[in-house]
Every structure is written in structure tokens, then in C-alpha cells.
A and B are shown apart, each in its own frame.
Chain A
Amino acid sequence: MIGPDVTAGTELPPTSIRITRADLVRYAGASLDFNPIHWNERVAADVGLPGVVAHGMLTMAVAGRVVTDWLGDPGALVEYGARFVRPVVVPNDEDGALVELTGKVRDVREDGTARVDITAKFDGRAVLGKAVAIVRVPAS
């Protein structure tokens, strides 16, 4: 858990999360994003995708857990952003797609915040670019 001893270079506990087709259906319903590329093989192929892909915002939500699990209080997040650089292709099986997540403190600022750089990989390649969280560091 985050403490006042955070410094540049502090590594957050890495994690990995599986995303299955069932997760995509559930996320579509909860987020109201019913774009068929996230559940319909035929439509995904028609637009040139290699298969059904996860919602970028689901990948971003999952990646944010590296930071919020570490913070304990998700309310200590000040900023969070990411680019969607590569799709997470979710196969039609029980295992789904494995997204591997790491986070590292880039710097700690005078104003009591710290910048965390997040990596999210699928198939060994980054799926998010410039994934950055600014968090409030507890006072010592």
C-alpha cells in the first residue's frame, strides 16, 4: 500500500487480469457501449479486426487497478489517462485474453502528488500508450 515513503522508481505490485467474452458482454451492459465489434465476430471481421476486441475503456479500467489497488482509496487519484494503441483480441474460449499490468512511480512532486507510469501488455505488446496516473501521496 502507498505510504509517505514513495520515491521515483517505486514499483507497484504487478498483476494480470483475464478478459473473457462474458466480461465483454457484462461491460457492454454496464457501460452502455454496445458497439458490435466487442461481441460480434462478423462485424469485427467486416471492419478489418482480427476478432472480437475488448472495449478500450475496459482495458483502461482494468489497468487502473494497478494504481487504485496500491492506493487503497481510489479517491486519491487526481488524473488518469491513456491512449489506445493496439486492440486486445478476446478469443471465444474459457481463458479469454490475458492482460499483464505493471506500474512505476516516475516522479514525486512538490505539491504532494506523484506520477505513475502504467504498462498494459497483451501477447507481449503494449495495448495502452502514455498510460499515466497522477495520485495524491499521503502526508508523512
Chain B
Amino acid sequence: MLDPSHAGHAYPRSEIYEVGRAKIQEFADAIGDPNPAYRDVEAAKALGHPDVIAPPTFPTILFGRYSMHSLVEDERLGLDYDRMVHGDMSFRYERPVRAGDRLTVVTRIDRIMARAGNDFLDLSVEVDTADGERVVVAGAQLVVRGEP
């Protein structure tokens, strides 16, 4: 069982993640998406973006690298990574992530509940630039399956 008193807890703001053009292209290749807005600066500019933009699910990299890391390292929370599955994911965009962004995240535990022997952990992840501009807010539900 997860400790329900963790609801409302926010982890310290992450270090800065610099978004590079090559990483965006690598991610776009990995999801098999040929959209030129992810690869070609001129194509992105023609759409009104200052540089190439990242695919919509790109912030999942920050979620894994910072949010999941914070949760797994939190011994008081007691998250059993091997029993954990991803229940849902959502993104609310102020604007697309783009090359040159210097992003940091704050991960918050909104709710912890137990149902039918499983634990449900609702998270919100605020992704901002180092200058304090909000870029995207991600929501995720993690499900920790109970012992059989």
C-alpha cells in the first residue's frame, strides 16, 4: 500500500533539460512520424514557430527522467516499480515544446487511492522554461497492482 499522506506532495523542481534539434528528430524518427515541423527549421517557421517543434508526446522523456525518478527514489512513498503500470497520460499545451527550450519540471502527487486491491497514483507535472514560462502540464495515473 502506498502511503496516502503523500497526496499533495510536490517534489523539488528538476534540473534544466535542454531540448536539442537532434533529440527532437531522433524522437520523431522513433515514433515513425515524418512531419517536417519536427525536422526542418524553415518548415516550422512557415507554420509560425521560431524553431523546430517536438512531437506532442515528447514531454514523456522529462516525465521518465525526472518525475518517475523522483517517485522511485522516494523511500517514504514505497512505490513498487515492478508492479507498476501506466494507467493514463494527458498533456495540456500552452505551446509546443521546441528546440532551444530550457525546461524544468515540478512533479506533484494529486491523489492516492486504493481500489479493488490496487493503488492509484494521480500525478501532475508542470513543465516550464527556466525563465518561468509555462509550456505544458502533463497528467498521469500510475497503477500499482496489489500482491496476488
Contacts and interface: CB of A to CB of B under 8 A. Distances in A.
A89 interface: no
B82 interface: yes
Given A74-B38, A77-B93, 7 more contacts: A26-B29, A61-B33, A64-B57, A74-B56, A80-B56, A80-B90, A84-B88
Chain B CB count within 10 A is highest, among A56, A62, A72, A74, for A74
B85 interface: yes
Contacts of A62: 31-32
B92 interface: yes
Given A26-B29, A32-B61, A60-B57, A79 B93 contact: yes
Interface in B30-71: 30-33, 35, 37-38, 47-49, 53, 55-57, 60-61, 64-65
A79 B37 contact: no
Contacts of B9: none
A73 B65 CA distance: 27
Contacts of B37: 73-75
Contact of A31 (B30, B82, B88): B30
Interface secondary structure of A, over-half rule: helix
B1 to A, nearest CB: 20
B61 to A, nearest CB: 6
12 contacts: A26-B30, A27-B31, A30-B30, A32-B64, A56-B89, A60-B89, A62-B31, A64-B55, A74-B55, A75-B49, A75-B53, A81-B91
Contacts of B35: 68-69, 74
A84 B31 CA distance: 17
